[in-house]
Structure 1
Amino acid sequence: MLLSRLVSVVMVTDMCREETLKSILSEYYRYNYSKIYKPNSIDGREFGFNFFGGSFKRHIGFKVFEEYVNYIQRMVPKDVYYSIATYLEPTRPMNEKGWVNAELPFDLDAEQLLKTSDELIKSGWISQSVYEQIKQRFLYLLEDFIEADFGLDEKDYMLVFSGGRGYHIRVLVEPYINLDQKLRRQIVEYVSIGYKPSEPIKANVFQPFPHDYGWSRKLFEYIRVMGQSQLEELGLSSDLTAKRVISAFRKAKNPSSVRLNRSEFTSMQKLLDFVLGSYTVAVDERVTVDINRLLRAPGTVHGGSGLVCKAITKNDLEGFDPFRHASMENVSRKRVHVKRVPFEVVINDESVSPELNGKEVELNSALAYYVVVRGGGDFVDEAV
């Protein structure tokens, strides 16, 4: 149809889509390079880069921080990673690098942490309420394990929002950075599996907790305040043995002073299993155990979301909102055909919601990136 002014609206091809996404990241790095985090011992780190188009390069090294920043600005990678390890020769093949030590990382991911098969979460759509659940579990891991059990404080670790589906804790100090894979796996088991008391074989009276710290303390404190609602949830509301176990916990001054009869073991085990289901944390074992792991670089953009992988303090954590505090501060705008947005997303004081599905809108480039890269829309090219 001929008009005095012909406006042709064409959905951008995959190649153009990638170029548009890349241009948004280029804009961010052009004006926000000062926010890229400087890792310690940078000349001993291995760097890896995922590029638009699908290629991935690793075994890259930089002598100084400025080289690293310039590389990002020049190449505009989709994702940036660097090794938790430091090496003598970081650019050499893995068996020739000369491993020195490695941070002890913990990765909390929405899908694992919430034990869900939710298709939205699996595809990267994380709502504000889900992020809040992840944050609370992350804070629990930090306070009850990293600080309480491992004796670390804020100067000993770095907290990072991954830019995607969760958070990282990176322990930076000895002796943890010197641990081998076997010891790191034991730490994962301690955090993720919890405590299992051995069943008494001969003794009529047994001691369920040998210590007054760690899991012994956590389980002791929880069980002694259990009420009727928890017993009903376990189907133990009329179980007199379970109530005797709880009474014994309440009378004891500390975990190691608890004594139970052999006949009470089964009820105690049911109580422990219930508590462990709430207390254990599903960290990603592969990340913690792998001493050569590449982890996403703070201060760079997560190419799968458009949110910034951001180092944060413990004080920041309580009020931290990824959509508000980890967004790209871009000034450009993009036209987007919204296809399927499952819930309202607010980035840089601008929102997109299910009410816009099927419509064409102009968005700030950070929000446009998020919607398109998550599969919720397409960039639109207007040719006049």
Structure 2
Amino acid sequence: MPHSISPETDNQNTGTVEETMADAPVNNDDGQDVDNDVTMEETNALPVPIKGEDKMDVKLEDIFDSDNSDDEFPSWAPDGHVPATATNPEVMRTFYQRLFPWRYLFQWLNHSPTPTNDFGHREFAFTLQNDIYSRYNSFPTADLLRKDVLRLLPSRFEIGPMYTTNPRDRKTLRNSSAFKPLAKELCFDIDLTDYDDIRTCCNKANICNRCWQFITMAIKVVDVALREDFGFKHIMWVYSGRRGAHAWVCDKKARTMDDQKRRSIAGYLEVIRGGAQSGKKVNVWRPLHPHLSRSLKILAPHFQEDVLEVQDPWSSPERAEHLLSLLPDKALNDSLRKKWDSSPGRASTSKWADIDSLARSGGGSKNLDTKALLDAKQDIVLEYTYPRLDIEVSKKLNHLLKSPFVVHPGTGRVCVPIDTRKLEDFDPLGVPTVQGLLEEIDSWRPDGNSDGDGNGNGGGEDGSEDKAKNLQDWEKTSLRPYVEYFRSFVLALMKDERDPKIKREREESQAMEF
């Protein structure tokens, strides 16, 4: 029967476990090992919902990301019996056991190949059957995290902050105020449902490659601002699995920021304000801040191609009326309305061009303020292209966010990292699904005749069959390029963490903390 491991026992187990752990399953590991690091109140049953004293007066919607699942992904049965959906426990067991990149997740959160408090004091929250959730789980090593996940088979898990002490031991502290979050990546969340008032191809949880361009625009704008304006270097974007993207800013100086600094950066990037039914959503100072001027240059081509041409946002009279409400001159608006009423079905590209052509001809207005018109047009471009951030995700150090590489329970898609060097090529509908990955493993052959990732990584005529047999399961599938990108990101992060200056900052901060 599983048993709880004391903090003293934990410390004895943190020496070299991760250095020898492989992502592939080990013999006889069924997730019920007696060395399992049990963090629940009850060890032989599913955890119960958190009692009031554990909630720390934080609303659930404030601490979890908002990309909720909707309709279940269609079932697929490789043998005609077991549907390979993300809600099937055996499917999730196979995925977590054979495909999830535990080693690199550990190194990413730990910032070192050997265990530290960066990982050991990190909170993990599990979403279990019947929407039961369990917070304040923590693990000294990735192997123990992996074993508990295989035991509980969560549909997904979230990552929280690193605390002053092991989150499991928070109730043993004499002074409860001593338990507080110390560090976590600065995170951003972009969801296409926030674009429903301007995208015309899809709505709610539905997406396509046309409206995904709004996410592409957002990533470009936010990423360059974080790098050029704040000097951050280690920024990882992750597909949410359905309709959005998350940014994890992993630099040491970002992880250790308090809530006030996080709110300041979030406020710096927030431009779109107001709900779907509100009027003008952009109100910015003139002259424009350099960040907005740069953003307009990035967004202008997308506005012309992806918004005007593809989305055709003002095709209906109602939507065209909203455009007119954003223009500053009543006489010009009346002239435009008359022109558009006489030309039903006029394309948005033509309507946008009509603004300038009528303005140049006078447009019925003798006192047209061209500067105000130019400002209004810039604001319109921003309203239809600028990132719409779920700003609450970025403001709080104790917010939890879905882990990379979990499976979205509604779509079956893996939450893979997005390589920003190939941002335009990213296809959210083409990312690996748990269904497809299991098929790829089953069809993979070491002779290279059936290679899941399409890159010929099986053994061949050159006698590399032994090498092929040593491949880990994720290397045999289309998950491979995403894991390799994640690995390169993690290695670069750890390299910078080993820098003497950053190491000294770590030691000084730990001295102050404890």
TM-score range, shorter chain: 0.5 to 0.7
Give the AA of the match of 2:121: G
Residues 113-147 of structure 1 show CA distances to partners (whole Å, capped at 9, x for unaligned) of 4546999753x4433444x3244224323444233
Shift of 1:74: 1.5
Contact 1:138 1:167 (8 Å CA) reproduced: no
Which residues of 2 match residues 182-197 of structure 1 at below 5 A?
182-193=260-271, 196=283
The separation in 2 between residues aligned to 1:106 and 1:219, in whole angstroms, is 20
2:134 counterpart residue number: 57
2:194 counterpart residue number: 112
Runs of 5+ consecutive residues of structure 1 not aligned to the other structure: 1-15, 199-207, 244-261, 334-347, 350-384
The separation in 1 between residues aligned to 2:387 and 2:122, in whole angstroms, is 29
SS of 1:235's partner is: helix
1:305 counterpart residue number: 411
The separation in 2 between residues aligned to 1:144 and 1:184, in whole angstroms, is 17
Residues 18-73 of structure 1 show CA distances to partners (whole Å, capped at 9, x for unaligned) of 99722221222232244672222211211100111221100111111111111111
Give the AA of the match of 1:172: C
Structure 1 residues 105 and 241: alpha-carbon distance in aligned structure 2, compared to 1, 3 A threshold: farther
1:136 aligns with 2:216: yes
1:29 counterpart residue number: 96
The separation in 1 between residues aligned to 2:187 and 2:262, in whole angstroms, is 10
2:292 counterpart residue number: 215
1:238 counterpart residue number: 358
1:168 aligns with 2:246: yes
2:31 counterpart residue number: none
1:127 counterpart residue number: 208
Which residues of 2 match residues 1-384 of structure 1 at below 5 A?
21-34=88-101, 37-38=105-106, 39-40=109-110, 41-83=118-160, 85-89=161-165, 90-91=167-168, 92=170, 95-115=177-197, 121-122=203-204, 124-130=205-211, 132-153=212-233, 156-193=234-271, 196=283, 198=285, 208-209=286-287, 213-219=290-296, 232=352, 235-240=355-360, 265-328=371-434, 329-331=437-439
Structure 1 residues 52 and 117: alpha-carbon distance in aligned structure 2, compared to 1, 3 A threshold: farther
The separation in 2 between residues aligned to 1:304 and 1:275, in whole angstroms, is 33
Give the AA of the match of 1:86: M
Shift of 1:289: 1.2
The separation in 1 between residues aligned to 2:136 and 2:419, in whole angstroms, is 30
Structure 1 residues 34 and 220: alpha-carbon distance in aligned structure 2, compared to 1, 3 A threshold: closer
Contact 1:107 1:168 (8 Å CA) reproduced: yes
Structure 1 residues 77 and 218: alpha-carbon distance in aligned structure 2, compared to 1, 3 A threshold: closer
The separation in 1 between residues aligned to 2:243 and 2:432, in whole angstroms, is 13
Higher share in helix: 2
SS of 2:357's partner is: coil
Higher share in strand: 1
Contact 1:241 1:264 (8 Å CA) reproduced: no
The separation in 2 between residues aligned to 1:23 and 1:43, in whole angstroms, is 28
The separation in 1 between residues aligned to 2:120 and 2:89, in whole angstroms, is 27
The separation in 2 between residues aligned to 1:78 and 1:324, in whole angstroms, is 21
Shift of 1:95: 5.0
The separation in 1 between residues aligned to 2:421 and 2:298, in whole angstroms, is 26
- The alignment's TM-score, normalised by the length of structure 1, stands at 0.61
Q: Identity of counterpart residues, as a percentage?
A: 23
The separation in 2 between residues aligned to 1:79 and 1:134, in whole angstroms, is 26
Contact 1:234 1:274 (8 Å CA) reproduced: no
- The alignment's TM-score, normalised by the length of structure 2, stands at 0.47
Shift of 1:196: 4.8
The separation in 2 between residues aligned to 1:29 and 1:242, in whole angstroms, is 66
Structure 1 residues 214 and 300: alpha-carbon distance in aligned structure 2, compared to 1, 3 A threshold: same
Residues 173-211 of structure 1 show CA distances to partners (whole Å, capped at 9, x for unaligned) of 24333433344333333323178555xxxxxxxxx4276
Shift of 1:75: 1.1
Give the AA of the match of 1:293: H
The separation in 2 between residues aligned to 1:97 and 1:303, in whole angstroms, is 32
Structure 1 residues 45 and 54: alpha-carbon distance in aligned structure 2, compared to 1, 3 A threshold: same
Structure 1 residues 75 and 68: alpha-carbon distance in aligned structure 2, compared to 1, 3 A threshold: same
Runs of 5+ consecutive residues of structure 2 not aligned to the other structure: 1-82, 111-117, 273-281, 305-348, 442-452, 455-514
The separation in 1 between residues aligned to 2:255 and 2:402, in whole angstroms, is 18
The separation in 1 between residues aligned to 2:86 and 2:230, in whole angstroms, is 46
SS of 1:81's partner is: strand
SS of 1:159's partner is: strand
Structure 1 residues 263 and 324: alpha-carbon distance in aligned structure 2, compared to 1, 3 A threshold: closer
Residues 84-138 of structure 1 show CA distances to partners (whole Å, capped at 9, x for unaligned) of x22122332795433212211111112114546999753x4433444x3244224
Shift of 1:214: 1.6
- Aligned-residue Cα RMSD (Å) equals 4.1
Structure 1 residues 151 and 279: alpha-carbon distance in aligned structure 2, compared to 1, 3 A threshold: farther
